[in-house]
Amino acid sequence: MTYGKGLIRKPSQPKGRQVDDTALEDVRALLGDEPRRRDLLIEHLHKIQDANGHLSAAHLRALAEEMRLSQAEVYEVASFYHHFDIVREGETAPAPLTIRVCDSVTCALKGADALADVLGASLDGQKIRVQKVPCIGRCASAPAVQVGKRAVDGASELSVRAALSEDTCQPVVPGYTGLEAYRAEDGYQALARVRAGEWDVAAIADRLLEAGLRGLGGAGFPTGTKWKIVHDFAGPKYMTINGDEGEPGTFKDRFHLERDPHRLLEGALIAAHAIGAERIYLYMRDEYPAVLDILRREIDALRSAGIITSIDIELRRGAGAYICGEESAMIESIEGKRGLPRHRPPFIAEVGLFGRPTLNHNVETLFWIRDILEKGSDWFAAQGRRGHKGFRSFSVSGQIKDPGVKLAPAGITMNELLDEFCGGMEDGHVFKGYLPGGASGGILPASLADEPLDFGTLDKHGCFIGSHAIVVFSDHDDMRDVALNLMRFFKHESCGQCTPCRSGTEKMVGLLQEKNWDPDRLADLEAVMRSASICGLGQAAANPVASVLKFFPEEFDK
C-alpha cells in the first residue's frame, strides 16, 4: 500500500485524520519562532490565511498538530469567525481576491445592494469574489467597498474597477501623527509624570471622575470608578483595549487612530501603570487594515524609544465577529477561543483575561486621558451642554450634507448636531428620524430631536446613546426596511450560544419580511429576547423594531 503524504494511516499511526507532511512544514515555516501557546491560535490562523488566501483542511490539521491541540478545537475556532475561509476536503479554494461590499444600514441607503449586484454580475468569477458584508466602519463615505485590503469610499463600479489595478494586498495608510511629531508636542510627558509618582491611581481616578469621563464604547461606566475597582484586586492583572467597533454606523475609533494613535497609546500606558497591570492587549478589528499597520509601526517605535518598558502592548487582530465587541467575548477571543460571551457575575474586573482582574477600555475613553491630566478635570467637564460633561465623538452618517466624526459637546441635541456640525439635510430630503446609538440603540423620530444626547437621557423613550453612532433618515426612507436591515445584521452576528438570541433574531427577520406586520407577535418576541438573552446583542437587537412600532405607525399602511 502507498501512504502518499501521510494522508492514509499507517499501522503505527493513531486513528483519525492524518497530518499531511507538506502542510506541517508549511505551518512550521509560517509560525517560525512564534510561541505555540493556545491564546495565539487566532493569530496563527491569520498567518496561514494571509499566506494562502484560505484555510485548507490539511493546514488546519497541521496547525492542530503543531500547537498540540485537537483538530476539533482548531476547527471550532476557525469556523466561528467570518474572515476565515475554510476549504474542506474536495472543495474549491475561494478566489484569490475578495471584494467586500458593505450592506449595513447607511450603505444600504446609498445603494449598496444595487452596487453589489452589478459588481457580482461583472466581476464575480474565478479570480475575484464579490461578497456582501456587515459594516466595515466607513459609513461617512457610503457606499463603502473593500478591495482586498484597499478601501474604496463612495464606491461605484468604475472606482472599484480602478482599485483592481492597484496593490490590493496593502492598505493605503493615511498621514498621521507619528511618535516623533507627537513627542515634539509634549507627548508622553504625562506618562513620565505618572511613572515619577506625581499622580497615584487615586489622584488620577478622582480627576477622571470629576471630569465626568465615562466608558465611551457604549456602557458609559465611570472610568475612575473602574480604575479603583481593578486596582484594589491582587495581581497579576491585565488591561484590554476594545477596538472592535463593529456596530453599524460606528467609525470613531478608526477616525482617531488613523490620525493620532499615540493619544490612545499614552492613555493606555498611563492606565496600565496606575492599576498595576502586567500587560496590555489591544484588540483591533480586522476590517481596519490601515489601523493595524499604523499600530504595529508605532508600538514598535515605542519599544525602540524605550517608552514601553515593563508593561508591553500586545496587538491582537480580530477576525470579523461583531459579538467580540462585548467585553467578555473579546477576552475569550484574545485567549484563542470562540468569542462567546461569559455569564456574569463574576465580572471581568475580578475574573477577566486568563482568569485575572482586568481593566477594559474603549479607544475613545483612553484618548482623553492625557488631555484631562494636562488641562484639568474642570476643562473637560466644561465642554458639555445642559449639565453634561465632556466631548463626545459622534459618528454621523445618513441623509446629511456633511457626514463624519463630529467632536461635539455631550448633551447636544440632534437638531443642534445636524445644524451646527453636519450642514443640515441633503437637498431634497426632510428629516424623518435617526439612530441615536447605532444599530441597537433604537430609532427616534424627528419630533424627538431636541432631547440631549448622552447616557441615560433617552432611556424614557426605549433608546440609548451607546457608542454615539448616529444615522439620519429622511422622508425618502422606509423605516420598515431600516428595521429589517438592522435585524438581518443581528441575525448574521448572533454567536448562537443562547436560544433567545439565536432563534429570536431568525424568527424576527421572518416576521419582518411579511407584508403585514403583527405588532403583538413582534412585541412578544422582543420581550422574550430582551429578558432571556445572555448578552446585550440579543437583549437590544429588537430595539429598532420596537421603535418603529412605537414611533412610526404610519409605516404599517404601506
Angle at 545 between CA 539 and CA 546, to 5 degrees: 75
Q: What is the CB-side half-sphere exposure of residue 310 using CA atoms within 13 A?
A: 8
Instruction: Give the DSSP letter string of 415-479.
Output: HHHHHHHS-SBPTT--EEEEESSSTTS--EEGGGTTSB-STTSSGGGT---TTTEEEEEETTS-H
Give the C-alpha separation, 125 to 347, whole Å. Answer: 48
Helix (H, G, I), strand (E, B) or coil at 494: coil
- Say what the pLDDT of residue 8 is: 61
- Domain 97-163 class, CATH top level: alpha beta
Q: What are phi and psi of 366, to 5 degrees?
A: -70, -25
- Say what the pLDDT of residue 10 is: 65
Hey, what CATH topology would domain 391-474 get? Ubiquitin-like (UB roll) (3.10.20)
- Say what the pLDDT of residue 311 is: 97
Q: Which residues pair with 537 in a beta bridge?
A: none
**Could you tell me which residues come within 8 angstroms of residue 443 by beta carbon, excluding any fewer than 6 positions away?**
433, 434, 435, 463, 473, 479, 482, 483, 543, 544, 547, 548, 551, 552
Between the alpha carbon of residue 404 and those of residues 212, 393, 504, the distances in Å are 25, 10, 33
Owner of C-alpha cell 420598515: 480
Owner of C-alpha cell 422606509: 478
- Say what the pLDDT of residue 3 is: 46
**Could you tell me which residues come within 8 angstroms of residue 393 by beta carbon, excluding any fewer than 6 positions away?**
216, 252, 255, 256, 364, 405, 406, 407, 468
- Say what the pLDDT of residue 218 is: 82
Classify the C-alpha dihedral 384-388-392-396 as positive or negative. Answer: negative
DSSP count for the chain of H helices, then E strands:
24, 15
Residue 413 CA, distance from chain mean position: 26
- Say what the pLDDT of residue 13 is: 61
Q: What is the pTM of this model?
A: 0.95
* Alpha-carbon Rg for the chain in angstroms: 24
CATH 3.40.640.10, applies to 21-87: no
Give the C-alpha separation, 530 to 512, whole Å. Answer: 17
Question: End-to-end CA distance of the chain, in Å?
Answer: 70
- Say what the pLDDT of residue 557 is: 62
* 343, 535 Cβ separation under 8 angstroms: no
Residues in the chain: 558
* 16, 71 Cβ separation under 8 angstroms: yes
Nearest to 317 by CA among 294, 292, 335: 292
Question: If you ran DSSP here, which 8-state letter would residue 146 be given?
Answer: E
Hey, what CATH topology would domain 179-375 get? Rossmann fold (3.40.50)
Q: 96: cis peptide before it, omega within 30°? A: no
- Say what the pLDDT of residue 9 is: 61
Cβ count within 10 A of residue 377: 20
Question: β-strands 469-474, 431-435: how paired?
Answer: antiparallel
Angle at 409 between CA 407 and CA 414, to 5 degrees: 90
Burial 270-301 (b: 16+ CB within 10 A, else e): bbbbbbbbebbbbbbbbbbbbbbebbeebbeb
Hey, what CATH topology would domain 479-557 get? de novo design (two linked rop proteins) (1.20.1440)
Judged on CB neighbours under 10 Å (0-12, 13-18, 19+), 371 is middle
Residue type, 24: L
Give the C-alpha separation, 49 to 57, whole Å. Answer: 12
Nearest to 103 by CA among 141, 72, 144, 66: 144
Q: Which residues pair with 449 in a beta bridge?
A: none
- Say what the pLDDT of residue 4 is: 44
What is the residue extent of each domain of the chain?
Answer: 21-87, 97-163, 179-375, 391-474, 479-557
Nearest to 439 by CA among 536, 553, 531: 536
CATH fold match for the domains 97-163 and 479-557: no
Burial 117-156 (b: 16+ CB within 10 A, else e): ebbbeebeeeebbbbbbbbbbbbbbbbbbbbbbbbbeebe
Between the alpha carbon of residue 53 and those of residues 72, 127, 129, 447, the distances in Å are 22, 12, 12, 49
Question: If you ran DSSP here, which 8-state letter would residue 286 be given?
Answer: T
Task: Render each residue's pLDDT in the chain as its tens digit; 558 residues.
Answer: 444 444 566 666 666 678 999 999 999 999 999 999 999 999 999 999 999 999 999 999 999 999 999 999 999 999 999 999 999 998 999 999 999 999 999 999 999 999 999 999 999 887 999 999 999 999 999 999 999 999 999 999 999 999 999 999 899 999 999 999 999 999 999 999 999 999 989 999 999 999 999 999 888 899 999 999 999 999 899 999 999 999 999 999 999 999 999 999 999 999 999 999 999 999 999 999 999 999 999 999 999 999 999 999 999 999 999 999 999 999 999 999 999 999 999 999 999 999 999 999 999 999 999 999 999 999 999 999 999 999 999 999 999 999 999 999 999 999 999 999 999 999 999 999 999 999 999 999 999 999 999 999 999 999 999 999 999 999 999 999 999 999 999 999 999 999 999 999 999 999 999 989 999 999 999 999 999 999 999 999 999 999 999 999 887 665
Q: What is the CB-side half-sphere exposure of residue 231 using CA atoms within 13 A?
A: 17
